[in-house]
Amino acid sequence: MQTTKYSLPKKAFIISFGKVINRLSALFAIMYLSYALSKDLYGSYRQVWLLFNMLVPMLSLGIPVSINYFLPLLNDNQRKTFTIQTYFLLCFLGVIFSLFLFFGSDQLAKLFNNPDIGILLKYFSIIPFLCLPTLFYQNLFVCLDNPVLATKVSLFSSITYVLAIIIPIHFGYTLANMIGFLTIHYLIQFLVFSVLMYRMFINIQFDYSFRLLKEQIYYAIPVGMTSVIGLVSINVDKIFISSFFNPEIFAEYANGSMELPFIGILTGSIMAVLMPEFVKLYKNKDIKNLIKIWHSSIMKVAFLFFPLMCILFIYSEEFMTLFFSSKYKSSAQIFKIYLLGLPCRITIFGVILLSLNLSSYVFKYAIYTFILNLILNYVLINQLGVIGPAVSTIMVTYFIAALQLNRISKEFNYKFYSIFPWKKLIQLMTISILVLLSVYVIDLLVIEKIIVSNAMMQNLIIIVAGSTVYFLIFISMCFLTKFLSKEDVFIFLRKLI
């Protein structure tokens, strides 16, 4: 297979770009539906996707993630065998998923205290069969050193997804009809990936390998179970909200707890690109270089996430109103709580553990997290009401991060205080918060005085003006405190070009 060699930063950028477009299209679809649908219909639609997203890791068994670990270690013939076996295994699991969703729809509707989603789940049930076999295309193309192809598929998928959402709703079709259009979108994605995969390996011999399949499943199941527990743990707040409140309240909570497109994409793309490199470095016992590369990625992400957290905290109400309409202004309260979890998203500790083949530890920590989150959600929803599950989610996010980081430090034989770039991160967070306080005062005295007849335009102007002021003060503070130098800027621009 002839491929172009890409550096790690360029790989991360290409993949991140594709995923950003993918997430932006999903965000645009959610924004459109927030404006176009009533709260109860929108809440029901989000509940269908909540169920799907929680069940995906359970019924895919962690198979897609196993690509990142195995493929870099295989030759071309083994790669074809591994890829084809993975594809058909996911097809089989997709059939099981679809049957489960169709025949279990009524019981799932009772779980969510919303009988309206029962029929929606039946319409939706064909999508898992079409979706599961395509879950690993990003991992596959990155490991085959073809991130451009992965990005092209993402862009194509994003376009068809948005059209499948907008066209039926714009022309007055029902939510069930829209799910039919989504099914066509996933069918096209399934066919495109199948053809691309076939063409990539057409000249390479296929030899079925039960041993390879067995190794893959042994590696993947703990990862899959960890993902299940992790996702259920992360989404258990939404399950509690669905059970305790009506679909309208769930709609408000779902929008407030929305993850920004850049968050999971940037960190996930960087770690997906770095994982094969981490596997090789650890195998060669080059721990020092592994940690150096990891720390470098952490600081780059934190330099974006920390100030972003502060800006969005100040303008959370304007942000919610602009993106989801004035119906969801109250979602800002939940949004602010979720923003407090951003410092934990500057890396993915589980990827490091998986690179060290310590998936059992990831699984064990996820179980602890799930149990704690379940208990805290129940206690806090009764004590604090609708914000209780959000508070619980953030507390548990920090808890699992601490557990995983502690395990990593022991595995590398490093002290806890030296395994992570604590000093630089604290300095960056301090600068970010100081700038936040400055901008908050400027916002009260100047920016909030801006009056425009169009409410949407006013919110946009306030966010842009405030963000510009924050950015200028933040960069100035970074230079004044010598956190940044001119050389850092030149190096960044050179790499970007």
For residue range 248-296, what is the model confidence (pLDDT) as tens digits?
999 999 999 988 777 877 787 788 778 888 888 888 888 888 888 899 8
Which distant-in-sequence residues (6+ apart) come within 8 Å of 229 by Cβ? Answer: 363, 366, 367, 369, 370
Dist CA 128 CA 105 (whole Å):
14
pLDDT band at 212 (very low <50, low <70, confident <90, very high): confident
pLDDT of residue 231: 74
Percent of all residues in the chain with a pLDDT value above 90, rounded to a whole number: 33
| pLDDT, mean of residues 40-57 | 88
pLDDT at 496 exceeding the cut of 70: no
pLDDT mean over 126-143? 86
Q: Is the pLDDT of residue 1 over 50?
A: no
| pLDDT at residue 463 is higher than 80 | yes
Q: Is the pLDDT at 207 greater than 80, yes or no? A: no
Q: Does 65 or 332 have the greater pLDDT score? A: 332
Asked whether residue 383 carries a pLDDT value surpassing 60, the answer given is: yes
The predicted pLDDT at position 333 comes to: 93
pLDDT at 277: 83
Residue 431 pLDDT grade (very low, low, confident, very high; cuts 50, 70, 90): very high
Supply the pLDDT for residue 19: 74
pLDDT above 70 for 477: yes
**Would you say the C-alpha torsion 47, 50, 52, 58 has a positive or negative sign?**
negative
Q: What is the pLDDT of residue 447?
A: 64
Mean pLDDT of 104-131: 89
In this predicted structure, what is the pLDDT of residue 489?
63
356-379 mean pLDDT: 85
pLDDT level of residue 497 (50, 70, 90 thresholds): very low
Q: Model confidence at 331, in pLDDT bands (50, 70, 90)?
A: very high
Between CA 323 and CA 34 the distance in angstroms is: 8
